[in-house]
Structure 1
């Protein structure tokens, strides 16, 4: 691809298509802090707070978005997830960037270069070496805590296994960082009954609580203890991200006791038995989340590790996941209804990966709102393959049609990189453009103070009030 050297591509009014959009962004959205309530950042790296050092490590290590783009560009795996020198990996990414035009990776890359390093030019092969050196010279002295503060990040919520000792969160809590860091309870491994890894995980959980988990009743006791431990360490959210259909079926306690007893003996479980166990566990967890005043999150609709060759070569999360068309909504309805029927339904956020289910998810969440908690049931931000301009606009428009956009809790990064926080800026610019377009079409009142307040609520205030972090 020929050279596309371009100064000031990320200009002040990037993505803002009218004077009204510019005003809403610069006067209202731009300066409010960030609450990133779902990401996969390393609490260990934040606690140790050592300089990031190298942009290849910060950008390419584990970033399956970039990995997919590089593979599509014909880059050998050696330069993607392999053992190639860091600078050579960066050069291959620079070779890929011009070819990502119209993919969100192009915008994200340039936003991150501009915001963290004040680099205006489009990354490409003929400036890769210069940009690599310039970025590294800054990262040599820039720690995770400093990068978070630089982006005005007030809160981040990491994603954590129930067996985590949370020692790094405890260290962070004692540090005088601008950004507060809280854990999120992610019990996915408890749902894989019938698989070899389930029994291995029970051993890990047993070691964590210091007693043998030899019955379903004892398993629930251990889970409750870990929830209490997480709560005492600032946790106010849970998450669930199992692939496959989301089902919720009837069960009784005796059935679950029997199903659990069959598992360690390697007796084959039927698909219905697995569904009964998962339904029981989902219900128990949901009630506990309500009891603790937590928010529960459900990321639904992904088919993972499609490429077995790459999974064997690289491992899980190699960038070979995709949108699924599993049945989801009927099971979700039954689950939410079971909790709501006994008034034990916690604040809930759902995220769909299949855009064909946008209206389905948005309409379902509106069924279970109750008095006292504005926006209790949230259809969450455009997720994963959908968190780009087109997907964000569609999510905002569907939510506006079927719910209350004014009560939306806004954007999150869902990222493993400390350089990903300009995605909040990306979302905010798109949001302001959508509202300004309505204003110019005379679809909303010409009241900039009212519209600006709503935008600030979506970008910050709603999340701050919703989660009640200590």
Structure 2
């Protein structure tokens, strides 16, 4: 019987151990998509305690606590930090076979060298030991990232963001780089008229120009796109339920914009056309600058309206959606390819039912000029766990080129989430090793070791045009 979470965790035999420890373990991390707060990175934030570093903002843990019968007071409410930690410790033993059980103990080991299991009996001692360490200078944000050999992080930023913290950080020399990513979801979401007009007004203010028509709106957004590029941005990102690819005319979009700016609610057909047009404009701008465009597709968001009203978005009430994906995705990518404006693209799928669809769709639009130009992205959100990663890797292997895959990312709001890269690397090495053991791949360790290094680090290093 193997020991829990020892040095060969997830590595089922000697070949897997050799692949991981020789080729993957010590590689740096390029985390090209996350939701880390740039102000905390720029300010080298020092957390007050483990609760604030570990539980604050982590909706994965919040969902588990709610499912375990923990009152909201101890999750997002007014309870003291040590009480919230205690409730999490009570929940952890009940997370067995949920990835949170692995992540929790990986994070305790890798950051704090704590190897005890977290439960009600150990909670007080672990809380004290972690707090003693987290208050020391080496456990400020820069130390946490350097401890994990992080080389690059890309945050997620709205076009109206000032990027002042990215500018501050760019002047520092701390061992890693931070870049913004352009996430214009609010700019293409006119379905809530009041909120949308408030957003357009905000865009006008930061752009220092009037926005009275659609062309002025585009000019303001393009100006922000240019500004992001000046700050080193080379990645965009879109959160979509599904792709939008309706037929439209420029005149229709101009009229739709005037309608919503006049305070009128739009028809669903108008909303779909507007979103379709905006995706085309954003994709063209990204292509012109040589950026990588990312699409996170398939979330069913804010399903619990009471919770949304009380707690707001991104608090643990989103799920996998069952949207139809293929037709509009093919039409959008075909539209951009016809215009010769389809740049490097990563699509992330939330519903594993669609893995083969996504994997095969990327192959439709590779053009032979860039290796791995169209990417089926890593297991995202509900899929960034053992089974989800395996299914994504298998679908990509069967239909495309796993060898050109740009690998893992955290997609996290926590500075303690970077062992997820280790989790992915161990799983990847074990998958290759199983094929070698079964005679399905040659026992060519130098070549397969190189492929693993490429997937874990070097493919991303060459794919993203970081400066």
Q: TM-score, normalised by structure 1?
A: 0.97
Determine helix, strand or coil for the equivalent of 1:185: coil
Please say if 1:56 is aligned against 2:84.
no
Please say if 1:324 is aligned against 2:318.
no
Question: Offset at 1:372?
Answer: 2.2
- For residue 212 of structure 2, the aligned residue among 206, 214, 217 is 214
Q: Is the 8 A contact 1:8 1:120 kept in 2?
A: no
Please say if 1:37 is aligned against 2:35.
no
**Deviations, residues 388-427 of structure 1 (Å, cap 9, x unaligned):** 0011111111100000000000000000000000000000
Q: Is the 8 A contact 1:246 1:327 kept in 2?
A: no
Please say if 1:310 is aligned against 2:311.
no
In 2, Cα distance between equivalents of 1:376 and 1:169: 28
Give the corresponding residue for 2:230.
232
Q: Is the 8 A contact 1:9 1:122 kept in 2?
A: no
Q: Is the 8 A contact 2:182 2:228 kept in 1?
A: yes
Q: Is the 8 A contact 1:303 1:321 kept in 2?
A: yes
Please say if 1:20 is aligned against 2:15.
yes
Q: Is the 8 A contact 1:247 1:328 kept in 2?
A: no
C-alpha spacing 1:462/1:361, structure 2 compared with 1 (3 Å): same
Pairing of 1:72-111 with structure 2 (within 5 A):
72-111=67-106
**Deviations, residues 37-89 of structure 1 (Å, cap 9, x unaligned):** 00000110011113223110111111110001001111111101101000000
Q: Is the 8 A contact 2:166 2:179 kept in 1?
A: yes
Determine helix, strand or coil for the equivalent of 1:451: helix
TM superposition outliers: structure 1 runs of 4+ over 3 Å: none
Q: Is the 8 A contact 2:237 2:294 kept in 1?
A: yes
- For residue 411 of structure 2, the aligned residue among 404, 410, 414 is 414
- For residue 453 of structure 2, the aligned residue among 452, 456, 467 is 456
In 1, Cα distance between equivalents of 2:4 and 2:76: 30
In 2, Cα distance between equivalents of 1:361 and 1:129: 46
Q: TM-score, normalised by structure 2?
A: 0.98
Question: Offset at 1:212?
Answer: 1.3
Determine helix, strand or coil for the equivalent of 2:261: coil
Please say if 1:156 is aligned against 2:153.
yes
In 2, Cα distance between equivalents of 1:408 and 1:179: 23
Give the corresponding residue for 1:4.
none
Question: Offset at 1:317?
Answer: 1.4
**Deviations, residues 16-47 of structure 1 (Å, cap 9, x unaligned):** 00100000000000011000000000110011
Question: How many residue pairs end up in the alignment?
Answer: 463
Give the corresponding residue for 1:117.
112
Q: CA RMSD in A?
A: 1.1
Please say if 1:165 is aligned against 2:192.
no
Q: Is the 8 A contact 1:110 1:123 kept in 2?
A: yes
In 1, Cα distance between equivalents of 2:88 and 2:3: 21
Give the corresponding residue for 2:198.
200
**Deviations, residues 236-293 of structure 1 (Å, cap 9, x unaligned):** 10000033x4221111111111111111222332111111111111101100000000
Question: Offset at 1:314?
Answer: 1.5
Q: Is the 8 A contact 2:244 2:279 kept in 1?
A: no
Determine helix, strand or coil for the equivalent of 1:184: coil
Please say if 1:262 is aligned against 2:259.
yes
Gaps of 5+ in 1: 1-6
Question: Offset at 1:8?
Answer: 6.7
Gaps of 5+ in 2: none
Question: Offset at 1:330?
Answer: 1.1
Q: Is the 8 A contact 1:9 1:121 kept in 2?
A: no
In 2, Cα distance between equivalents of 1:305 and 1:240: 17
Question: Offset at 1:185?
Answer: 0.2
**Deviations, residues 400-455 of structure 1 (Å, cap 9, x unaligned):** 00000000000000000000000000000000000000000111111000000000
In 2, Cα distance between equivalents of 1:109 and 1:240: 29
Q: Is the 8 A contact 2:296 2:347 kept in 1?
A: yes
Give the corresponding residue for 1:338.
335
In 1, Cα distance between equivalents of 2:100 and 2:71: 19
Give the corresponding residue for 2:437.
440
In 1, Cα distance between equivalents of 2:7 and 2:264: 63
Determine helix, strand or coil for the equivalent of 2:266: coil
Give the corresponding residue for 2:171.
174
In 1, Cα distance between equivalents of 2:73 and 2:439: 54
